[in-house]
Amino acid sequence: MTVTRYQAKAALMQSGLLPDAEAAVVAMDDPMIDLAWQEAGFERLSPMVERLGAEMGLTDDELDNLFDQAAKIS
């Protein structure tokens, strides 16, 4: 499943997780993660999403739910 940056960040915001996600991106200190966070859409099974989810302590089910929620945002 793929969602836009807007959809992903809106779902994180609605879930109260956007500040945690932004802090996790900074904590990872990886220029490629920074670039993806700022520019790319989000693919559920991408390495970036897996790393970000792990950094935030999210389970696979929680990530799946966030993507389901994001996909419903237009």
Distance, in Å, from the CA atom of 47 to the CA atom of 68, rounded to the nearest integer, reads 18
**pLDDT (0 to 100) of residue 49:** 95
Element holding 55 (H helix, E strand): helix 47-56
For 20-37, how does the pLDDT look when each residue is reduced to its tens digit (9 = 90+)?
Answer: 999 999 999 999 999 999
**What pTM does this model have?**
0.91
- The stretches in the chain having pLDDT less than 50 are none
